[in-house]
Structure 1
């Protein structure tokens, strides 16, 4: 197993590993690499849907998406398919997966099936570094602030989701303690973060915009250009991500499995 860190503040490519054949030692090495690099790229992985789920289960429990239907033969796998005639893509705004749940996923595996001839990259941002990059005047304000996350900003207009998908609300600390690294991280989810406890809408909008600008600054991001068979594993607790929608008229098909997480921890109880 050869780990090649990117030149960014997050991201690494792992060569020399076949995920369908990893043993417990391999799992430990990959988990340690994930804690260090936050986003891991595994090129040229040949996996069936069932094998993708089996790999994910080596890092934690998995379950179906819940709001969008999984694959018929493998409900834990969500097929994210943008067809040539589709104008909008899935996950095109900066976000943290399912932050509107009481216990958002700890991470996800995304496996490229069909990729466009150009465009369709995914970007991730480092929320550890985002927290440290905030001006002191903002950091003082947010250390003990709680944020409101809602699903309707994501699923409200989609006809394909279950009705309850539009009504999910969770209140999470804005600054969290990562349960494994014990590092403080910003936990902001772009459009899903709709307000802050004890703050009026105008002030919350202003603060949210300031946080998003810092959290997604290019210096804090890692961008991956997909090839068929690429698999990316990321830590959802300390990153945000978005899929770029710059390949009009082409197909992009990805298979995703999410790994169950725990409720976000405040930095002080």
Structure 2
């Protein structure tokens, strides 16, 4: 796999020479030459965005960066938006949402066990997040990988009949969906999955009261069903991509449920074959960003004896079309 280089020298304004090393044959690249402890100039930001839109998922390894550095880096991609649940905001940097299985004084410091099905973020709102960024503050030695799948590739691989059946169709996305169309991590055995499901239910029950008490969560519970295109035109690249969310899709507008739900499951399965996904194994200090308009992602199980603390930021998006 070749390395991409994006060297921008606009006088004294540019201080970085960026290169990209592919993380998998189908999606993702490690970006070399970025230091989050330093501001990113306009020229460097343009080079970074060029690589981001090309690779869809970018990782910057081993950063010694604090929350303020992470926020400044995220601002190179656009306007940071507040997460729709405020229960686990960072105590000093409210833009940051904390994901963690760690407890202090008997209380969870972050949201645990969420996002373990293939999805694109915040599809239940009118303007879903364009980008999501994660910073690995404390990463587990075992487990806790994040998986990614390329939705340009998923759409391109569909047969013509399926493309004709879904082009112009809109899926129904519901925030409070309780059953899932399609599970995310198929790299575990059925026995392991049962253990994971039991532990997830226990963890989710523990923090449910705190999440439910959040004013933003209460507003989210009242969100109406949202119609989103099954095939999305990317607002930057103009390419077509499948646009799915196995956590929130409940049907297809104008299609009988007994036809729509199996079709959604087939699309999720076709979009995420094991030989075409990126499985990202975290190292301390890693920062990763992905394009929600062309990427599905899913969390995987973190063993309870492996502490995990992740900082999360999202960037404002537009109405999908």
TM over 0.5: yes
Aligned ranges 1:1-269 → 2 under 5 Å: 1-21=18-38, 22-69=40-87, 70-83=89-102, 89-153=113-177, 158-159=208-209, 160-161=211-212, 162-168=217-223, 169-265=225-321
Unaligned runs of 5+ in 2: 1-17, 180-203
SS in 1 for 2:80: coil
Does the 8 Å CA contact 2:29/2:59 hold for their aligned counterparts?
yes
- Structure 1 gaps of 5+ residues are none
Aligned to 1:147, the other structure's residue is in SS state strand
C-alpha separation between the residues in 2 aligned to 1:72 and 1:246?
24
Given that 1:152 and 1:167 are in contact with CA atoms closer than 8 Å, whether structure 2 keeps it comes out as no
Rounded Cα–Cα distance in structure 2 between residues aligned with 1:131 and 1:154: 27
TM-score by length of 2: 0.78
**Equivalent residues of 2:119, 2:247 under 8 A apart:** yes
Q: Distance in 1 between matches of 2:141 and 2:63?
A: 19
Kept in 1, the 8 Å contact 2:129–2:315? The answer is yes
SS at 1:20's partner residue?
coil
CA distance in 1, matches of 2:71, 2:23: 27
Q: Deviations over 1:99-137 (max 9, x none)?
A: 101000110110001111111100011000111112322
In 2, Cα distance between equivalents of 1:195 and 1:175: 15
Deviates more, 1:19-28 or 1:139-148: 19-28
Highest Rg: 1 or 2? 2
TM-score normalized by the length of structure 1? 0.92
In the alignment, the residues of structure 2 paired with residue 12 and residue 202 of structure 1 have an alpha-carbon distance, to the nearest angstrom, of 39
Q: Distance in 2 between matches of 1:66 and 1:206?
A: 30
Q: Structure 1 segments of 4 or more deviating over 3 A?
A: 83-86, 154-159
1:247 deviation in Å? 2.1
How many residues align? The count is: 264
Contact 1:96 1:188 in 2 (8 A): yes
What's the offset of the Cα at 1:154?
A: 7.0
Q: Indicate the SS of the match to 2:247.
A: helix
CA shift for structure 1 position 216? 1.1
SS of residue matched to 2:162: helix
Q: How much has 1:246 moved relative to structure 2? A: 4.3
1:107–1:234 CA contact under 8 A, matched in 2: yes
Moved more, 20-29 or 172-181: 20-29
**Cα contact 2:140–2:302 (8 A) shared by 1:** no
